[in-house]
């Protein structure tokens, strides 16, 4: 167990629907990063939150949004889903709140989204 928890592990939904993916970072970590892994595009950075605030955006579609809550967990919302959104979605956490140390990045086990 890496300490980063992602739920659900698997999700199957229809085109046009909306889903929410959840990430609980390693205890005390302030930063959460979201990534999309597809077979053709590899690992694409989507968005980074630090202590509740958006820090950086990557290749995130306008149909996707995210937030980080006061307890530091994060949610990634995917709407108007298309077949091409089928992928593994990973989150990672970093930055120890006790020391401020950016020790590296710890990844969760991912959510496998299938859009049918």
Q: Terminal CA-to-CA distance of the chain, rounded, Å?
A: 30
Judged by CB under 8 A, which stretch of 18-26, 49-57, 61-69, 70-78 contacts another protein? Answer: 49-57
| Residue from 7, 15, 16, 43 in contact with another protein (CB under 8 A) | 43
Residues 6+ apart with CB under 8 A from 76: 20, 21, 23, 34, 46, 47, 64, 65, 66, 89, 91
Does 26 help bind another protein (rule: CB under 8 A)? no
* CA–CA distance, 81 with 18 (Å, rounded to integer): 6
Does 95 help bind another protein (rule: CB under 8 A)? yes
Judged by CB, which is closer to another protein: 70, or 100?
100
Does 107 help bind another protein (rule: CB under 8 A)? yes
What dihedral angle (degrees, nearest 10) is formed by the CA atoms of 84, 66, 42, 83? -10
Q: Which residues bind another protein (CB under 8 A)?
A: 2, 31, 33, 35, 37, 42-43, 45, 48, 50, 55-56, 58, 88, 90, 92, 94-95, 102, 104-110
């Amino acid at each position: 167990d890496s300490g980063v928890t992602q739920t659900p592990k698997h999700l199957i939904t229809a085109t046009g629907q909306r889903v929410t993916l959840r990430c609980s970072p390693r205890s005390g970590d302030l930063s959460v990063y979201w990534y999309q892994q597809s077979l053709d595009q590899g690992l694409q950075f989507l968005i980074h939150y630090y202590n509740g605030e958006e820090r950086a955006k990557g290749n995130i579609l306008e149909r996707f949004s995210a937030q980080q809550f006061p307890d530091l967990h994060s949610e990634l919302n995917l709407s108007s889903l298309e077949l091409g959104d089928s992928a593994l979605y990973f989150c990672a956490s970093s930055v120890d709140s006790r020391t401020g140390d950016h020790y590296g990045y710890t990844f969760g086990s991912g959510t496998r989204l299938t859009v049918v």
